[in-house]
A and B are shown apart, each in its own frame.
Chain A
């Protein structure tokens, strides 16, 4: 199936470039290590032979697209990625109808390299080979061989995904997959909500205790396209730059908050983190709140106004002081 998808991806990309319908195709190519896929831009029909797809193509390619409405291009997108195209369109960062050809991948669930790294318990630099055999993922290196259940190392966002098929008009590279729009995305959030405030403090202190402030989570995010991030402002400086706990927590609070009502839960932030912090819990909480308050999920429809850009006179006010 993967083979057929890759062939169709390459053929479609080649045709689009050869016929001059697009100037570039944003896809992936194979990396130099197991589980390493690279974002790759094909600009000539010949380069399309390097396009690739496998279970580890987890970064969101919308993050790599040029900003603005100049140029025409194609981009490989799963359900979540396609929703980010919608968000960028809503935010006037691209023109989805005129500019973008979507090479849609109905998503069967992606594997998370970070979960496999964690499963090796500190042997990830040693990983020589990762093979998928049925519902097992075989991970091996000098002196070890692990057999992991596929479900254990599937991305949490994929296990709870409601929209695996592209939500916009696209050239589908495979058959659509069945969808369950009622899947529970909020189990982890509810677990944390159920904790006492002091326990939640401990939970988040521990969660972010290993953060090194490398900003990979921000830079991998297709929503984070500001010319100058609040983190980098120096006149005035909004946020302390050290890894002191308050600064780190504030950074993660603000980063997540800036994604409120916009996050499609593509999971690129978590996949990019070099120390394996599951920081999606924050964006999930925001999207849960927004779904409950306004019945909105980000990036499903370019015609709908995002909820944090509009208001209704009867919006809840129970947070108000008086």
Chain B
């Protein structure tokens, strides 16, 4: 792993070089709303910006077209589905460590589950075609808690390159071959020992500035049915709107629906984000719904993230502590609080 140095004044030049080879996205604020947008050479990102939506969409977009087909009986291979894999190299700059980690966690489900012979070719294609350029968090924020779920404000998991803000310059860590190729698009000098040390110090200080002691994994009780039957769910559901805010802003909520749409005799099968908060998600064709009310749906979301997922994937939580759900939930359902109460009596 090599470490390089880029002057902050040269960031725009570096990104312009990347944008020549890749479709480049960076965080930007439009009308007060921060999100990933196509790179604007006139306005390179000058500071850490936390986007409302996560980088989930670069690997699992809200809509992913999967197949095309013709329903014209005269057509060759009528009604036979033809795969449409995503094409094009993408780079994302300014990625927080929590977001990057979500790509790895979701990858456990989509492409890296040792117990699942089936893998998702769409997720894999996007993994292969996408380069993630991280920007470490010098100052973790008020509602985030990556350290409580196994992450770190300057964590490297899932990233190809990582930038650490050293004031006047960035220390650039090359973490993968793909990252190396991107770093080579613009001249950077090797980092000296003092600069490497400064970066380590930034990461250490960032980590130390986070509140200690709280580990969500340990907060959750081991007995599935004991947590399932806690009064917590009914109490919390009382104010839950059952909207999809938490699931859509969440980097690790990956559930999807598969739909067909036809225009004339040309059809498309695609998947879209779905939410376990929606009644239709589990509704049987018979009308029976195994999770009929918001209490059951809210419970399933937290149980999935903090119990079912860890049960299946070696204790890893399906949460990266980005804090988005805490900030954007209209009724302030706080996963930290829920987790703390999931310790059965």
**Residues of chain A whose beta carbon lies under 8 Å from any beta carbon of chain B:** 31-34, 36-41, 59, 63-64, 117-119, 121-128, 141-143, 210, 212-216, 218-220, 232, 234, 240-244, 271-272, 274-276
Interface size bucket, B side?
Answer: 35 or more
Chain A residues in 8 Å Cβ range of B332: 31-33, 36-38
| Shortest distance between the CB of A272 and any CB in chain B (Å) | 4
Q: Which of B248, B270, B279 has the most CB of A within 10 A?
A: B248
Question: When the two chains form their complex, are residues B239 and A39 in contact, meaning their CB atoms are under 8 A apart?
Answer: yes
What are 7 pairs between A and B in contact, CB < 8 Å? Answer: A36-B332, A41-B238, A126-B50, A141-B141, A215-B244, A272-B243, A275-B53
User: Given A38-B332, A141-B142, A240-B261, is A274 in contact with B52 using a C-beta cutoff of 8 Å?
Assistant: yes
B272 touches A241 (CB 8 A): yes
A103 and B91 CA atoms in complex are apart in Å by: 54
A212 to B248 alpha-carbon distance, docked (Å): 7
Q: Which residues of B contact A36 (CB under 8 A)?
A: 326, 332
Contact with A along B234-248 (1 / 0, CB 8 A): 000011011111011
Contact A216–B243 (Cβ < 8 Å): yes
6 further A-B pairs in the complex, CB-CB below 8 A; given A33-B327, A118-B31, A242-B270 = A36-B332, A210-B33, A243-B63, A243-B272, A274-B52, A276-B33
- 8 Å CB contact of A125 from B143, B241, B280: B143
Query: Is B324 interfacial (CB-CB < 8 Å)?
Result: yes
Contact status of A232 and B334, CB under 8 A, knowing A118-B31, A240-B261: no
Residues of B236-268 at the interface with A, using a CB-CB cut-off of 8 Å, are 238-239, 241-245, 247-249, 257, 259, 261
Contact check: which of A32, A128, A210 meets B334 at CB < 8 Å? A32
Q: Is the CB of A122 within 8 A of B27?
A: yes
The 3 closest A-B pairs by CB, nearest first: A118-B32, A122-B34, A214-B244
Which residues of chain B come closer than 8 Å to A276, judged between CB atoms? Answer: 31-33
B35 at the interface (CB under 8 A from A): yes
Closest to A215 in B: B243
Asked whether, in the complex, the Cβ of B142 is within 8 Å of the Cβ of A127, the reply is yes
Which one of B52, B143, B241 contacts A275 once the chains associate, using CB atoms below 8 Å?
A: B52
Chain B residue numbers with a CB within 8 Å of A242 are 62-63, 259, 261, 270, 272
* A272 CA / B241 CA spacing, docked (Å): 10
A32-B332, A274-B249, A275-B52 are known contacts. Are A213 and B244 too (CB-CB below 8 A)? yes
Closest chain A residue to B278 by CB distance?
A232
A-B pairs under 8 A by CB, number? 137
Residues of chain A contacted by B279 (CB below 8 angstroms): 232
Closest B residue to A126 by CB, please name it. Answer: B141
Q: Which one of B31, B32, B33, B241 lies within 8 Å of A216 (CB-CB)?
A: B241
- B139 at interface (Cβ–Cβ under 8 A)? yes
Q: Kindly state whether residue B41 has any CB partner on chain A within 8 Å.
A: no
Q: Are A39 and B33 in contact (CB under 8 A)?
A: no
B126 within 8 A of A: no
Nearest Cβ on chain A to B281's Cβ, whole angstroms: 10
Chain A min CB distance to B233 (Å): 15
B318 within 8 Å of A (CB atoms): no
B8 to chain A, nearest CB (A): 16
Q: Roughly how many angstroms separate A40 CA and B142 CA in the complex, as a whole number?
A: 23
**Nearest B residue to A41, CB-CB:** B238
**Distance in Å: Cβ of B146 to nearest Cβ of chain A:** 12
Q: How far is the CB of A225 from chain B (nearest CB, A)?
A: 12
Could you say which of B31, B247, B280, B328 has the most chain A C-beta atoms within 10 Å of its C-beta? B328
> Smallest CB–CB gap between A250 and chain B, Å?
14
Q: How far is the CA of A21 from the CA of B53 in the complex (A)?
A: 46
- Contact across chains for B324 and A125 when beta carbons are under 8 A apart: yes
List, in ascending order, chain A residues with CB within 8 A of B107's CB. Answer: none
Distance A218 CA – B238 CA, assembled complex (angstroms): 17
